[in-house]
Amino acid sequence: MILHAALFTWKADVGDEEVEALTAALEDMASALPMLHAYRCGPNLRLRPSPSDYGVVALVEDEAALTAYLDSPQHAAVYDAHLARMIETRQAVQIVVPDGTAL
C-alpha cells in the first residue's frame, strides 16, 4: 500500500468559504474513486508549527492506483475548479504502508 500526502500553502487572498468548498469537492471526488482505500483532507489544525494551510492524505494499493487517482478526470476537475487558483506552494510525499498495518 502507498500513502500519498500533499500539503498546501494558500495564496494570501484565499478565504474560509473557498477552503470549505474545496473540502466538499475533494470529499465528493474521493467517494467516487474506487482506487482510494482511505482519504482525508482538511485545514491544518496548527497544533505544531507548520507553514502548511491544508493537507490531503490518500491510501492506495500501488503506484498504478496512485497514478489513476492523480490523473483521474475527477481530480483534474477539482484542481481546475479550486486548487489552481488557491495554491501558493505544494509539497507531496509517498510512503510505503505495509499491507495489513494500521496507521
Q: Quick one: pLDDT band at residue 99, thresholds 50, 70, 90?
A: confident
pTM (whole model) above 0.95: no
Cell of 56: 490531503
Q: For every residue of 12-62, which 3-state class applies, written as one string?
A: CCCCHHHHHHHHHHHHHHHHCCCCEEEEEEEECCCCCCCCCCEEEEEEECC
- Supply 4's cell numbers: 500519498
pLDDT (tens digit per residue) in 4-60: 999 999 999 999 999 999 999 999 999 999 999 999 999 999 999 999 999 999 999
Contacts of 71 (CB under 8 A, 6+ apart): none
Distance CA 32, CA 36 (A): 9
CATH of 2-46+56-96, one of 3.90.1150.10, 3.30.70.100, 3.40.50.410, 3.10.20.520: 3.30.70.100
